[in-house]
Structure 1
Amino acid sequence: MQGFVTGTPNLLLRAEATLVLVGAVAAYASLGSSWTLFALLILIPDVSILGFLAGPRVGAVTYNAAHWHGIPLSILGYGFSGHSPIMLDVGLIWIAHISFDRMIGAGLKYPDGFRFSHLGVYGAKKLANSRSSVGNPCLRQ
């Protein structure tokens, strides 16, 4: 596994994700859009986790494609251009999803497996408590 962000930079990235989440939800609310639509779409990006059934490399690619801000920002731009108001909703919901994941420490994945991301090993404290982290830099906190 490659390295991951630790310490203050990790905290700053997670705080930034929290602010983006709040901004996306506030922007969505200001549009007066349907909260039912929000509830229906908020977890759709997590369907990308199914890529891990084909192996960790494929899983990392599918997950990262669905959890990279580039796609929803492009959709949001298209919506802002006036071509499709529903795209504003979709883009904001998608950005809220990604930001929530990053806020809780679930970052972009490495091909080593679902738990390994740029923000660290997801659930590492629980894993470190169950077995020794000595000799495994991925498990050190």
Structure 2
Amino acid sequence: MNTRTYLRVEGAAVFLAALAGYLLVLDGPLWVLAVLALAPDLSMVGYLVGPEVGALTYNAVHVYVWPLALLAGFLLTGVEPLAWGGTVWAGHIGADRAFGYGLKEESGFRETHLGGL
């Protein structure tokens, strides 16, 4: 397997673990899953300004640090919506990576750290 394939398989594993965790462990509401699953892609609005801003806004919300911060917040406070948000957000990133949508390059939306789309 090449590096890109490893990263895509890893993304699929994150997605499946997040989905299972949300549905089976957290037992979160399905409507929250549906809304939060699409929310990170609102960051693509930055592409209306240009490819540099678009890459910045997209990449800012498509890294695992923010969902992990929400999950850490849940562990510290016990506030369950933090766990829902962190889990679904991580799952979204994992699904994107599984389908080959990596972090964006400033040269354009179709150029990612996983290769071209």
Which range, TM-score by smaller chain? over 0.9
Decide which of 71, 74, 99 is 2:69's aligned counterpart.
74
| SS class of match (1:81) | helix
* TM-score (norm: length of structure 2): 0.95
Decide which of 6, 10, 28 is 1:16's aligned counterpart.
10
Higher relative contact order (CA 8 A, sep 6+): 2
Structure with more of its chain in strand, by fraction: 2
Report the Cα distance in structure 2 between the residues aligned to 1:50 and 1:72, rounded to whole angstroms.
20
Q: Find the structure with the greater CA-based Rg.
A: 1
Give the residue type in structure 2 aligned to 1:31: L
| SS class of match (1:86) | helix
Query: Are residue 118 (structure 1) and residue 116 (structure 2) matched?
Result: no
Deviating beyond 3 angstroms after TM superposition, the runs of 4 or more aligned structure 1 residues are none
| SS class of match (1:114) | strand
Give the residue type in structure 2 aligned to 1:35: L
Alignment of 1:1-141 (within 5 A): 8-29=2-23, 30-122=25-117
Report the Cα distance in structure 2 between the residues aligned to 1:31 and 1:59, rounded to whole angstroms.
33
After superposition, the C-alpha distances for 1:35-76 in whole angstroms (9 at most, x for unaligned) are 111011110000000101111111100000110111111111
Structure with more of its chain in helix, by fraction: 2
Partner residue, 1:126: none
Shift of 1:83: 4.4
- Flag structure 1 segments of 5+ consecutive residues without an equivalent: 1-6, 123-141
* TM-score (norm: length of structure 1): 0.79
Report the Cα distance in structure 2 between the residues aligned to 1:119 and 1:93, rounded to whole angstroms.
22
After superposition, the C-alpha distances for 1:90-122 in whole angstroms (9 at most, x for unaligned) are 000101111100000000001001111000111
Report the Cα distance in structure 2 between the residues aligned to 1:32 and 1:62, rounded to whole angstroms.
31
Equivalent pairs, count: 116
